[in-house]
Amino acid sequence: MAKLYVVGIGPGGRDYMTLKAVETIKDCQVIVGYTPYIEYLEDLVEGKEIYSTGMRGEIERCKLAIQKVKEGKNTAIVSTGDAGLYGMAGPILELKEDIDVEIIPGVTAAFSAASELGSPIMHDFATISLSDLLTPWDIIEQRIEKAAEGDFVIVIYNPRSKGRKEHLKKAVDIMLKYKQKDTPVGIVRNSGRINRKIWLTTLGEIPYEEVDMLSILIIGNTNTYIKDGQMITPRGYNIK
């Protein structure tokens, strides 16, 4: 019986893919995904049936993957990062009928970026996407407000696009009601990829024009600090 695998492929670099993700993709006959994500897989998908679509084709991809399984073909639908965080796991489980589905976890950008910055999410943190395509902006604002008020470390996905140039500034203005301007902020563009770029800055000095949809921001809590060029959020151990 054919099976549908929902695979998280990590942030994009092969080094950040799990062994299970690699083996699953190798074993599948059909690979479905957003076009740039398919390109990350390179030699892993040679000789396979490939189906890719552009932006906003998520449901189309999910339905196609389900159909291929019903045709008797083991199929992988891929997401960057973890398939269960802003990925395809949810839509697949909502749409599926009478097929076997397995979710293959992946390294999300929050974790890869954190490792590149130091240890900024050693304590409680919240992830918030600033994309309002599927979530109303007023709901996003409420979530930012509560996370900042609760002194969470905040990880921002989808921070700034051509059509949403002011969303990040608006989010920061909300956070500044509860966090100091000198709160450490780490920004990673292309986390886990060859052309990665890293900034260490503060909440009051974010270089907005440098931030885009390939970037992720990690905003510290009241205890976060910078040491030797690395961002650290203490867990609370008695360090002597």
pLDDT of residue 12: 82
Helices (H), strands (E): how many in the chain? 7, 13
pLDDT band at 31 (very low <50, low <70, confident <90, very high): very high
pLDDT of residue 86: 93
pLDDT of residue 234: 97
> Could you tell me the residue ranges of all domains in the chain?
3-107, 110-232
Q: Give dist(CA 177, CA 119) in Å, integer.
A: 25
In this model, does residue 162 exceed pLDDT 90? Answer: no
Q: Give dist(CA 7, CA 104) in Å, integer.
A: 5
| Beta carbons within 10 angstroms of residue 74's beta carbon | 17
Contact 51, 57 (CB under 8 A): no
What is the fold, at CATH topology level, of the domain defined by 110-232? 3.30.950
Tell me whether domains 3-107 and 110-232 share a fold: no
Reported as a single tens digit per residue, the pLDDT across 169-196 is: 999 999 999 999 999 999 999 999 889 9
pLDDT of residue 240: 74
Domain formed by 3-107, architecture:
3-Layer(aba) Sandwich (3.40)
Q: What percent of the chain has pLDDT above 90? A: 86
pLDDT band at 239 (very low <50, low <70, confident <90, very high): confident
Q: Give dist(CA 233, CA 54) in Å, integer.
A: 38
DSSP 213-237: TTEEEEE--TT-EEETTEEE---S-
In this model, does residue 140 exceed pLDDT 90? Answer: yes
Reported as a single tens digit per residue, the pLDDT across 51-65 is: 988 777 899 999 999
Q: Is 147 left (phi over 0), alpha (psi -120 to 50) or beta?
A: alpha
The better pLDDT of the pair 162, 122 is held by 122
SS3 88: coil
pLDDT of residue 55: 74
Reported as a single tens digit per residue, the pLDDT across 151-160 is: 999 999 999 9
Task: Let me know the angle formed at the C-alpha of 38 by 16 and 159, rounded to the nearest 5 degrees.
Answer: 65
pLDDT of residue 25: 96
Strand order from edge to edge, sheet including 184-189: 125-129, 153-157, 215-219, 184-189, 197-202
pLDDT of residue 209: 94
pLDDT band at 67 (very low <50, low <70, confident <90, very high): very high
Q: Give dist(CA 3, CA 130) in Å, integer.
A: 33
- Average pLDDT in the chain: 95
